[in-house]
Amino acid sequence: MSTPLALACLATCLLQLPLEGQPDVRYTVMREFVSPVNGEAFRAPVLKDELPVVNWDYDRCPHPPINTLAYALVIDPASGYVAHPDEFNLETTWDAPALTDVLGQPRFGRLAPEGLPWAGAYPWEKFENAALMSAAREDPAHFTGNWWLLAAWSVRLDVISGHNEFDDEVEGLFARLPQRGPDLGDILTPYELQLAVYWEEVRDTGQLPDLDNADFGLALAWLYRSRGELIEAEYWLRTATLDNRDLAAQSSLYQYLRSSIELERSYLKSTKTWFNQAWLDAHVPTQQESSVAFILGELNRRLGDRPAALAWYDSAKERSLGMVNTDLIDHVRKLAGGNAGNEE
């Protein structure tokens, strides 16, 4: 079965993405698995325990202490077959040629041993493979869409994974900016977005004379990108390059932000395609309609289609059934340019 993909990231961008970091031994343990495709044994890291979520993005992307999505699926390094750790060893109908037809070859450059093309796969590759397998099985469209959404989230969370080559650059930028704790009275706005607004306010008063526009733009782009606010992140990247035309060649942080934004956008577009199809097919369970409508609102807002976002937020509120926080709907509706009600 062919799969409609919206994977716009160029190969040159993909090669700029950092290699996957080593497993965090505080939270993970190595387990042995046997590929149900070829019978070969291998070891892979899995989570020791379920980790608490510190907070969520507006679209409900969880922020635990580490990128737990990196360990949510196990991947066969030879065939690319993926499954949850507790289901991986179960018998499957897939064979290696069928998987190659569905998955193709890895799109992301890394040093993989010969014969093990999927070794060291990035978190988002695992979910991309799961989405492609889901589509080939002809699962319900919202199942496939959910895999693409998790792929997008895994890219987003990698920004704050603590295993990136640009981490020192971020730390150096932030050290030059005024610090402030979270506003505990604002329970809906993530701290990074609160901090971005604060820094903009401070800069507007002329209190940052020693920080040029390029460095300030990079700092703001990281904050917005860490929460998947792609439009704002791109705005600040453009602002940064206006002050330094050579920034793209000089800054690994700039290169990563640009690449990861394009990759997450491609996954969000695929998510939108499949969730739209699920809605048109009327296959979304009644109790999930509000959640899917809300996610469609968020997808459209983050992709820059604000009128569509507002319409989907209204649909989510109408179908709430207590499944979606209506205060949150009102909040993101304002971010998309509407008021808290259903009138424009």
Closest CA to 158 of 40, 74, 300, 260: 260
The share of the chain scoring above pLDDT 70, in percent, equals 92
Tell me the two tokens of residue 66: 């580490």
The share of the chain scoring above pLDDT 90, in percent, equals 77
Q: Which pLDDT score is estimated for 21? A: 52
Q: How far apart are the first and last CA of the chain?
A: 42
Listed range (79-88, 230-239, 313-322) with the worst mean pLDDT: 313-322
- Answer yes or no: pTM beyond 0.85: yes
Q: Indicate whether 320 pLDDT > 90.
A: no
Q: Indicate whether 343 pLDDT > 60.
A: no
Q: Which pLDDT score is estimated for 162? A: 75
Side-chain-side CA neighbours of residue 154 (13 Å): 22
Tell me the residue length of the chain: 344
CA distance linking residue 311 with residue 302, whole number of Å: 14
Tell me the two tokens of residue 285: 């369970």
245-265 pLDDT, tens digit each: 888 888 899 999 999 999 999
DSSP 8-state symbol, 275 = H
Tell me the two tokens of residue 241: 């390059």
147-174 pLDDT, tens digit each: 999 999 999 999 887 778 889 999 999 9
Mean pLDDT of the region 283-287:
89
Q: Which pLDDT score is estimated for 60? A: 94
CA distance linking residue 324 with residue 319, whole number of Å: 9
3-state helix, strand, coil in the chain (%, to 5): 50, 5, 45
Listed range (153-157, 281-285, 311-315) with the worst mean pLDDT: 281-285
Mean pLDDT of the region 50-59:
94
